[in-house]
Amino acid sequence: MTLDLARLLIFPALMAFAAASDLLTMTISNRISLALVAGFLVLAPLSGMSMADMLTHLGAGATLLVIAFACFAFGWIGGGDAKVASAAALWFGFAHLMNYLLYASIFGGVLTLALMQFRQWPLPYALAGQPWLARLHAKDSGIPYGIALALGALMVYPETEWVKAVDAARLALL
């Protein structure tokens, strides 16, 4: 039961925290990415994942890390975004990686368009005193892409073996 709760809560909570952190501070702490990696490394063997499957998941995370850091080097994404996307890929493996990237791209496009529109309007005086909102409204500010990464991850996660392995009947007894 504890393992089921961990599978249901750790990944979604960390991704939601990454999104909130990026929204409010325009940064994603390395601790979040490290916690995602640590969570995977602890839960994978406890969940009965074979060493071969663990290695393919590690390969997916490493592949995305290389691609994401190339995007970071070109200035297309932030370093925190690259690390948290790679850590999420570790949880998804290659089986769900393309769906994750597709959802994150769609949400990222919508987020970018919404922020571009938001930045065209004047910020109401009552809200201008909020530093996070003023930073989000600034035209020279970036896009908190961690939000799109988290939304994409939360769309794909219910389809993974992590969630499908949960013994829902036992959790219902709580």
Task: Return mean pLDDT, the chain.
Answer: 93
Percent of the chain whose pLDDT exceeds 90: 77
DSSP annotation string for 53-75? HHHHHHHHHHHHHHHHHHHHHTT
Residue 6 burial class via C-beta count within 10 angstroms: exposed 0-12, middle 13-18, buried 19 and up: middle
116 pLDDT above the threshold of 70? yes
Q: What's the Cα-to-Cα distance from 119 to each of 20, 41, 88, 96, 145, rounded to whole Å?
A: 19, 41, 30, 34, 16
126 pLDDT above the threshold of 90? no
pTM over 0.75: yes
